[in-house]
Structure 1
Amino acid sequence: MEGFFKNSIEFKENGQYLKFKNHSIFYNKIGKGETLLLLHGYPFNSYDWNWLLKDLSKHYQVIYFDFLGMGFSDKPKEHRYSFEEYVDIVKEIVKVNQLQSVRILAHDLAVSVVQELIAVEKTLDFEIVSVAFMNGGLFTDVYKPRLIQRLLSQSPNWMGKWISNKMSRKAVESSLFRVFGPQTQPNLDLLENYWTILNYNDGKQITYLIGRMVFEKVKYQTRWIDALKTTKIPFCYICGPFDPNSGTHMAKRFQNEYPNRKVYFLSDQIGHWPQVESPSEVMLAYQLFLKDIDQKK
């Protein structure tokens, strides 16, 4: 399946920027209709959604953006990145685009941004109509971070910075090979684009700062889990089962915690990046989720 944009360069050239505090945030919107926010994970950016944009934009006004510190947004080096700040960026995107309501599809690190959004739901001046979580660490006790994540994020600052600077393309690619499915491994074009994205504005140097957020989740867990138990927002989990980080084991924990919410399992050998590995399956799962919501109204 071809991407909406030929490569990450064309992807960037077709985007725009908004100001968040003193920083520039890359974003774009395509299509018409109800608004769907696409929230990307770590360590790349919203280019992850490139293979879903064509189909999604037939049905929605799709808005995607790069979180501060990643992709084509600013990457301040002396900065404390946090879930609260990422929530504020989402709120700014909504405000600038004068949105009253949004649907959300979130992957990887972004699932926890949405957990925080739901936890502060009563303070929002817009409605979250529905949420689809996908292959993300909703529960820290069963999340299995990659070795490179642990090295970058659990070491002292000086060591994390040193490892980030020394991290080679081969090391990044090796990490990707382990989390993609065996039949859906990243091709050379994707690897080239990811490497370009990671290094944009010296982004590789601060990967350890973003990665630290993964291990800060512990202090939020009880609050986040409870927020999802009490919210009336429809939500589901879309699962690439082969993902060693947050695949089948995360989905089973989700089912135990929220037995009345649905899990949509994709093909057995789809890994951590379903929207890249099998966008057609993700599209089908998302449509089934929305159909299920409609039937319950």
Structure 2
Amino acid sequence: MPLAEIPLSVWRTRGHDFSFRGQTIRYWTAGQGEPLLLLHGFPTASWDWHYLWQPLAQRYRVIACDMLGFGDSSKPLRHTYSLLEQADLQQALLEHLNVTEPVHLLGHDYGATVAQELLARHHEGRAQIASCVFLNAALFPECHRPLLIQKLLLSRLGWLVARTFRRDDLVDCVSKIYGPCTHPSESALDDCWSLMVANRGMRVLHKLSTYPLERITYRERWVGALLAGGVPLRFINGAVDPVCGGHVVERYRQLVPEPDAVLLQGIGHYPHTESPTQVLHHYLVFRAHFQLGRPLKQA
């Protein structure tokens, strides 16, 4: 049975604000139980999780924010954006919400790399992570296959590319990274676009786009966090994503001890919106298995 969507207009009314280093961050929380922190990808926002929000909130205390520079949060122009700072933001949000117990992570793309940094901090004793599940992310920077637009945003003319980026360009990008039968509706594209342009977001798109360089800089740290053990991990991946699809899962299985990875055939870069029912199933199976102390088998 398809999962019910939450319209963006409704989603926005349910958000709250808190201040992080002088900037306004929009966040959402619902449910009770063990805290589950949802980390969105680039260049979208926490609304990406709306199909999974209610089903997860029936079981856990779900928490999500639009990271700095994304969605309805502040998008300061004269700012150097960093995945490290985004990890600081997540920890500040948990502190704001008085979350003191270990946190479960579910991260997509950009957010999955933030999750890797939080895992690294866990192994340093600076965070408490109970489990982590990744969705379509270049967990290993050597596997990242960027689109042309991503390369252009990283170029010296990135600022111009960002300011001339239009909704038609978004549609073109989506057509390349979604599965052949799972493209979003025109209404969903309108909503994604409205989140990108909120708070004059096109002025900072190129600044947000530098995260692949950070992945290279911190590869040893962030890949090391995957290899350290002690925290249950699962990788759920849309197989036909050209940017970080099945080829990343292959690398994951080569490097990560006792790898637990699930490939979703025919699904692209956004499995949680393309096939949320499958993602929910594989996430809940993961949680049930390790909580019962059963070994996870490679899927």
Question: Under TM normalisation by the shorter chain, which class is it?
Answer: over 0.9
Q: Is 1:3–1:53's contact at 8 Å kept on the other side of the alignment?
A: no
Shift of the 168–102 alpha-carbon distance from structure 1 to 2, 3 Å rule, reads same
Q: Which residue of 1 aligns with 2:297?
A: none
Q: Which residue of 2 aligns with 1:176?
A: 174
Question: Deviation of residue 66 (structure 1)?
Answer: 0.6
Question: Deviation of residue 291 (structure 1)?
Answer: 2.5
Q: Which residue of 2 aligns with 1:285?
A: 282
User: Does residue 1:51 correspond to 2:48, yes or no?
Assistant: no
Match of 1:198 among 196, 199, 208: 196
Give the partner amino acid of 1:181: G
Structure 2: runs of 5 or more not aligned: 295-299
Post-superposition Cα deviations, 1:87-129, rounded to whole Å, max 9, x if no partner, equal: 1101101101111221110000111111111122245555211
Q: Is 1:45–1:67's contact at 8 Å kept on the other side of the alignment?
A: yes
Q: Is 2:121–2:127's contact at 8 Å kept on the other side of the alignment?
A: no
Structure 1: runs of 5 or more not aligned: none
Match of 1:165 among 163, 170, 173: 163
Q: Is 2:46–2:66's contact at 8 Å kept on the other side of the alignment?
A: yes
SS in 2 for 1:93: helix
Q: Is 2:69–2:208's contact at 8 Å kept on the other side of the alignment?
A: yes
Aligned pair count reads 292
Question: Deviation of residue 259 (structure 1)?
Answer: 3.7
Q: Is 1:118–1:231's contact at 8 Å kept on the other side of the alignment?
A: no
Question: Deviation of residue 217 (structure 1)?
Answer: 1.1
Q: Is 2:3–2:52's contact at 8 Å kept on the other side of the alignment?
A: no
Shift of the 201–3 alpha-carbon distance from structure 1 to 2, 3 Å rule, reads farther
SS in 2 for 1:270: coil
CA distance in 1, matches of 2:270, 2:252: 18
SS in 2 for 1:17: strand
Q: Which residue of 1 aligns with 2:84?
A: 84
> Equivalent residues in 2 for 1:1-297 (5 A)?
1=2, 3-6=4-7, 8-99=8-99, 100-124=101-125, 126-153=127-154, 155-156=155-156, 159-266=157-264, 268-296=265-293
Q: Is 1:177–1:186's contact at 8 Å kept on the other side of the alignment?
A: no
Question: Deviation of residue 204 (structure 1)?
Answer: 1.7
Q: TM-score, normalised by structure 1?
A: 0.95
CA distance in 2, matches of 1:122, 1:248: 28
Which shows bigger deviation, 233-242 or 212-221?
A: 212-221
RMSD (Å) for aligned C-alpha atoms = 1.4
CA distance in 1, matches of 2:32, 2:288: 20
Q: TM-score, normalised by structure 2?
A: 0.94
